[in-house]
Amino acid sequence: MQRLAGSSVDLFTDELSNLEHGQLQFMAQRLPAFLPGSTTVQVPTSSCPADGASCADEADKASAGNENVPSNLPARPSSADNMGNKKKRAPAPRRYVMNDELSSLSAYMTARLSLEKVNAAVDDAATMAEGVAHMLATARARGKMATHDRKRAQMLMVNVAGKEGVKGHHWFMEQDMKSANILRPDKTGKSLLTVLRHLGRLHELRLSVEGSMQPVYTVQ
């Protein structure tokens, strides 16, 4: 009887011990990671692994993950670049004259006019037309310019620039020829104008400008 009683006591003690151990494990699993009064553990902010691997290895893995992303994508143009491209105007045509073209004209028309002079006049026409275009663009943009140039630009925008046959072309007027090198408003200059018109390098229109009919030359 004493042995049976002792065995029962031992069995009860083992069950009680197992129950207490299970309760302790249950409580340990549900304790918060931080308790007031305990030592604060500093968590490293670095993304480097803690197992001894280097950050370079992690960077290599990241770059390997992006290997399908092209690295040479063209840079998107800024709004300032777009605006600059929109405002940029093409240069005036410079269609130089060939010797056989000049020879095909009547002798009275080409008297004392060499091929060099004719092509210099082509350059003059393009330069003057580009100057007019620049003046009008500056006036539209309210850029800095002399008062008389601004007044003339405003007058030309009203009376000439938007007219049929002129709009969309590079053009100049007799007043612009005063500053030309060879295509000046004199006898030689008028002969050169005649030659360039016959060869299709210039087209002449007559428009009413401030009450008078004036020639306007568009560069072709």
Chain-centre distance of CA 134, in angstroms? 21
- Listed in sequence order, the DSSP H helices in 30-54 are none
Residues 63-103 pLDDT 10s:
444 444 444 444 554 444 444 444 577 999 999 999 999 99
- Work out the average pLDDT over 11-16: 57
Per-residue pLDDT band at 39 (split at 50, 70, 90): very low
Strand order, beta sheet including 212-219: 170-173, 212-219, 202-209
Residue 40 confidence (pLDDT) = 47
d(Cα 166, Cα 81) in Å, to the nearest integer?
A: 29
- Listed in sequence order, the DSSP H helices in the chain are 2-29, 55-65, 79-87, 99-103, 107-110, 115-140, 147-156, 187-198
d(Cα 174, Cα 176) in Å, to the nearest integer?
A: 5
The b/e string for 53-85 (b: 16+ C-beta within 10 A; e otherwise) is: eeeeeeeeeeeeeeeeeeeeeeeeeeeeeeeee
DSSP for 148-179 reads HHHHHHHHHIIIIITSTTTTTSEEEEGGGGGG
Residue 126 confidence (pLDDT) = 98
pLDDT at 170 over 80: yes
Residue 76 confidence (pLDDT) = 52
Taking the whole predicted model, whether its pTM rises above 0.75 is answered as no
Task: Kindly report the backbone phi and psi dihedral angles of residue 99, in degrees, each rounded to the nearest multiple of 5, phi listed first.
Answer: -60, -40
In the chain, what are the domains? Answer: 112-219 (1.10.10.1890)
pLDDT at 55 over 60: no
pLDDT at 166 over 60: yes
Give the contacts of 85 (CB within 8 A, at least 6 positions apart). 77
C-alpha torsion sign, points 101, 103, 104, 110? positive
Of 146, 151, 180, 131, residue with least CA distance to 159: 151
Residue 87 confidence (pLDDT) = 56
Residues 14-32 pLDDT 10s:
665 666 666 666 665 655 5
